[in-house]
Chains A and B, each alone.
Chain A
C-alpha cells in the first residue's frame, strides 16, 4: 500500500543479501535478514461447503485442500461429521439426523462449534491460510452463524455449494464413499443405502440453497450437476479466483494417469545429473517394453505427454502414437551443477551440497531451480491433467516426484525423497477420496538414481 503519508524516501538503500539456500535476495539490516512472507492472501480464508449429503462436498474439500497445499497455501480441512463421530462414538441410524431430534440437533450444533474453534486455532494461531469447513451447512441460519464467526475473526468467507439431483450420481457417491464409512461398518449394503437415503431426506425439508437474490452479497460458487454448470458470485481476491478455476476444471469421469520417467539415459549411466542426453541401449529397451505395456493396457483415447528433452521424446517416439511436448515437464535445472556427478558437486560446491540436504524442497541450485520452483511451473500441467482423462506422462525424476506428491498428497518435506525409479510405470486411478497406485516395473534393468535423505547433517 502506498499512501503519501506512509511514503519514506530512503537515500541510502538497504543492503541486499542472498539467502544461501533459496537464492532469494532479501534486504538485511544489521546483519539480520528482514523476513517477509509472500503470501497470496492478506487475511485467512474460510471455505464453507454447502449441500445435501452425498453431493461430493467431502470429495471437493479433500481435493481442494490437497491442491492448495501442493501449490504452497497452507490449508486444512475440518469435517464436522468427524467431530460428530468422535462425540457420539456409535452411529445407530438416520434417526439421529431427524429435524425433530432435539438431542441430536444439540450435539450437531456443538460439533460445528468445536470445529469452528479449531478453525480459529488453525487460521489465527497456527499460521494456516485456508480452512475448509466441510459440512452440509444447508440452512441460512447455520451459514449466518459461520459468517458472523468469520467476521469476528477477520476471515474471508467463500461458499462452495454442490447441487445435484441426478439419482445415478448420488447412488454412485453412496456406493463409493458411504458404504465404507465408519457409520456403516456393521451394516450390509442394502441396509446402509436405505438408511443413508433416509438420512438425506432428513435434510431436504430444511435445505435453503444459496439464493441469487438473498445471498447476492456473499462470495460463492454453486456447482450444478457435477460441473455441468457453475454460478460464480463476487469473487473477491486471487485465492478465490484460483479456487474457482480449479473447481471448474476437475471432473469425476473414471480414468487413469500413467506416470513414468524416460528410459535410462547415457548420463544416467555415468551418474551425471541433468543434461540433455539420449537413451542408452537399455533405455531404448524400456521404451519398447513401454509400448507393449501400453498396448496391453487397452486404454481408451490415451494422450501422451513428454518434456522437451531428448530422452523423454525418444521414449515416446517408440510408442508410435502422437504425443505432445511440454517445456514445463523439463527436468529440474541444476544450474552450475548440470551434468555433474554427486562426487563432483561435493568437491566443487560442498556448501551447496550440504544446503541441499538440509532442505531439499526449498534449496535452489545456483543459477538453477528448486523443487519449490518446479511445483510452480508444473501447476498448469496439473490443471490440464485434471481436465484430461486417460493420459501417460513421460517425464523426469524430480518432475515425477512433484506430480506424484500432488496426486498422493505428500508433504513438501517428503516430496524430494519419493521413490521414482527408472523403468517403472505408476498407474494412478482416482478412487473414493484418494488415488489408487499400481507400480509396474517393466523388467528392464537400469541404474538407481535415487539418493536418500542422508543420516548425518
Chain B
C-alpha cells in the first residue's frame, strides 16, 4: 500500500489538528438569555474573542445592532413596551434577520460558532431559535445571566450604556432613568430558563456575576470549554502588565532564540522595571516569567516572588535556534520564504509555529483570566500571542504586532474591551521587529529576503 506524501505536513498542521479537536462537526449557536444590563454583550464579546483566539471561527450577532439599523433614531424606552405592536414587529424582524445572517455565516463563511446576543427572555422566542437550529442541524447552548444586585446593574449601565448610540444625545441622569424603565419593560414577560421544563436543553446559568453556576446537559467538547472559560472570567477591576525580558546578549548579536543572559542595558531595564512597578503602586501583584534565563534575571531585579511557567518560553525555532536572519537565509532560504508567506502557521523544522504557541498559551490565558493584577515577563512571540488575545487581533496580524524591548504594556479591561498604555522605560535596546518583506517568493534573492532585518552587531 502506498504511503502518502507527508512533506507538506511540516508547513502547517493538518486541518484535523486544530488546538480544539474537531468534534464540533455541527455548528454551534450560543444563545444569550437575560434582562438588559446583565452582561450579555460583555460575555458575548469576550467569548467570541476567546474562541477565535484558540482557533474556532466565531462571530457575534447583536440583535440590538440590527434594531438600531432598522429604527435609526432611538426615542425612548416606549419602544420596548410590551404593548407596542409596531415595535414588536420590528424587533421580531430584526431577530429573524440576525438568524438569517447566522445561517450565512455557517454555510458560506465556514463559521463554527455563532453567538446570538439578545435578551431572549421569553420561552416563545427561545422556542423559535431552537426550532430554527433543529431544522438547520445546529447545536444550541444557552448562556443565561441572572443578577439582581442593583449596584452591579447600575455599574453596568454606567460603563456601557451611556456610551451607546441610543443615548448619545442624553445626559447621564436621563439616560439612567430611561434605561431602568427599559429593563422594566422586559421584566414582566421574563421567563428564565426553567430547570424542570427545560431539562433537555444545554445551558449554563450564571448567577451574580459568577458567584454560582448551574450547568445542564453539556453536549460536547466545545461546550465544555465554553463552560470552563465562563467559569473562570470575572469583572473585578485589575491590570495586566506585559513586558519582554531585558535586552539579552543574543538580542545584541541579532540571533534568535537561545537561552542567553541579560546584556548590561538589559540589566538596566530590569532595574528600571522595578522602579516603574513600585511607582504603579499595585495591590497584590503576581509576577510570572518563563523558564528562560533572561526573563528570570529580569524578574530577579524586582525583588519579589515570581512564578516560572515553561508555557511562557519563547517560540522554539528548531534548527534555526541561535541563528541570525542572514544565516537562516543562507542555510534555509526556502524555509525563510515559507515563513514570510504565512508567519502564523509556519512551523520551524523541529520547532514551533505561532499557532502552536497559542495552543500552549491557552492555560496561561485561562489563569490570567482568573487572576487579578499580574506582570508577565516573557518574549517577543509570546507577548504577541497574549496581546492578540487581549486586543482581539486576528491570526494574520498577530505575528507582526509590535512588542519592542524595554517597553511595558499596561492592559486594563474596560467596558467591552481593553485599554492599552505603553511605557517605554527609557533604556535603549536593539530593535528585534522584522516586518514582512515585499517579496515572499521562494525564488527571491537574498537582498529581498533580508530587506526588513533590523540592525545588529
Residues of chain A whose beta carbon lies under 8 Å from any beta carbon of chain B: 1-2, 4, 6-11, 13-14, 16, 18, 23-25, 27, 36, 38, 212, 216, 228-235, 238, 241, 244-245, 248-249, 276, 278-279, 284, 308, 310, 313-314, 317-318, 322-328, 338, 367, 373, 376-377, 384, 387
CA distance A228 to B200 in the complex (A): 9
Interface contact A326-B17, CB-CB below 8 Å: yes
Number of A-B residue pairs, CB cutoff 8 Å, is: 138
Interface contact A2-B282, CB-CB below 8 Å: yes
**Min CB distance, A90 to chain B, in Å?**
43
Other A-B pairs beyond A13-B301, A276-B350, 12, CB < 8 Å: A7-B304, A10-B303, A38-B307, A216-B212, A230-B214, A231-B215, A248-B218, A279-B3, A308-B14, A323-B16, A324-B16, A367-B321
Interface contact B211-A16, CB-CB below 8 Å: no
Report which of B213, B232, B267, B367 forms a contact with A231, defined as CB distance below 8 A: B213
Q: Given A228-B217, A324-B22, check contact A245 B228 (CB 8 Å).
A: yes
**Min CB distance, A9 to chain B, in Å?**
6
CA distance A233 to B213 in the complex (A): 6
Interface contact B6-A38, CB-CB below 8 Å: no
Interface contact A308-B310, CB-CB below 8 Å: no
B330-362 interface code vs A (CB 8 A; 1 in, 0 out) = 000000000000000000001000001001100
**Min CB distance, B361 to chain A, in Å?**
12
Report which of B13, B218, B275, B308 forms a contact with A327, defined as CB distance below 8 A: B13
Interface contact A2-B301, CB-CB below 8 Å: no
A288's nearest neighbour on chain B, judged by CB, is B1
A314 surroundings in chain B (CB, below 8 A): 3, 6
Interface size class of B (residues with CB under 8 A): 35 or more
Interface pick from B69-77, B168-176, B292-300, B413-421 = B292-300
Within 8 A of A (CB), among B17-59: 17, 21-22
Which one of A231, A234, A278 has the greatest number of beta carbons of chain B within 10 Å?
A: A231
B281, CB-defined interface residue at 8 Å:
yes
A235's nearest neighbour on chain B, judged by CB, is B231
B3 surroundings in chain A (CB, below 8 A): 278-279, 284, 314, 317
B411, CB-defined interface residue at 8 Å:
no
Interface contact B270-A13, CB-CB below 8 Å: yes
B311 surroundings in chain A (CB, below 8 A): 376
CA distance A241 to B13 in the complex (A): 31
B285, CB-defined interface residue at 8 Å:
yes
Interface contact A317-B4, CB-CB below 8 Å: yes
Q: Given A232-B213, A244-B231, check contact A7 B310 (CB 8 Å).
A: no
B68 surroundings in chain A (CB, below 8 A): none
CA distance A231 to B281 in the complex (A): 38
Interface contact B214-A324, CB-CB below 8 Å: no
CA distance A308 to B351 in the complex (A): 12
9 smallest beta-carbon distances between A and B, as pairs: A325-B17, A2-B285, A8-B303, A232-B213, A230-B215, A233-B212, A10-B303, A229-B216, A13-B300
Report which of B213, B281, B287, B370 forms a contact with A4, defined as CB distance below 8 A: B281
CA distance A314 to B203 in the complex (A): 40
B224's nearest neighbour on chain A, judged by CB, is A249
A14 surroundings in chain B (CB, below 8 A): 300
A323's nearest neighbour on chain B, judged by CB, is B16
Q: Given A233-B212, A249-B224, A387-B224, check contact A377 B360 (CB 8 Å).
A: yes
Report which of B274, B308, B350, B360 forms a contact with A9, defined as CB distance below 8 A: B274
**Min CB distance, A377 to chain B, in Å?**
7
Interface contact A376-B310, CB-CB below 8 Å: yes
A234's nearest neighbour on chain B, judged by CB, is B211
CA distance A213 to B269 in the complex (A): 52
B287 surroundings in chain A (CB, below 8 A): 2
Interface contact B13-A232, CB-CB below 8 Å: no
**Min CB distance, B349 to chain A, in Å?**
9
B296 surroundings in chain A (CB, below 8 A): 16, 25
Interface contact B13-A229, CB-CB below 8 Å: no
B303's nearest neighbour on chain A, judged by CB, is A8
A376's nearest neighbour on chain B, judged by CB, is B310
- Complex A-B: 14 CB contacts under 8 Å: A8-B303, A13-B301, A14-B300, A16-B300, A23-B291, A230-B215, A230-B216, A231-B213, A232-B215, A241-B232, A245-B228, A384-B21, A384-B221, A387-B224
CA distance A44 to B284 in the complex (A): 20
Interface contact A325-B224, CB-CB below 8 Å: no
CA distance A138 to B391 in the complex (A): 48
CA distance A233 to B267 in the complex (A): 46
B9, CB-defined interface residue at 8 Å:
yes
Interface contact A318-B300, CB-CB below 8 Å: no
Interface contact A232-B359, CB-CB below 8 Å: no
Interface contact B310-A373, CB-CB below 8 Å: yes
Interface contact B6-A310, CB-CB below 8 Å: yes
A1 surroundings in chain B (CB, below 8 A): 284-285, 304-305
Interface contact A308-B17, CB-CB below 8 Å: yes
A305's nearest neighbour on chain B, judged by CB, is B21
B278, CB-defined interface residue at 8 Å:
yes
Interface contact A324-B218, CB-CB below 8 Å: no
Interface contact B22-A318, CB-CB below 8 Å: no
Interface contact B356-A327, CB-CB below 8 Å: yes
A238 surroundings in chain B (CB, below 8 A): 367, 370
**Min CB distance, B240 to chain A, in Å?**
14
Interface contact A25-B232, CB-CB below 8 Å: no
A338 surroundings in chain B (CB, below 8 A): 350
Q: Given A24-B291, A231-B214, A384-B221, check contact A36 B305 (CB 8 Å).
A: yes
A244 surroundings in chain B (CB, below 8 A): 231
B224 surroundings in chain A (CB, below 8 A): 248-249, 387
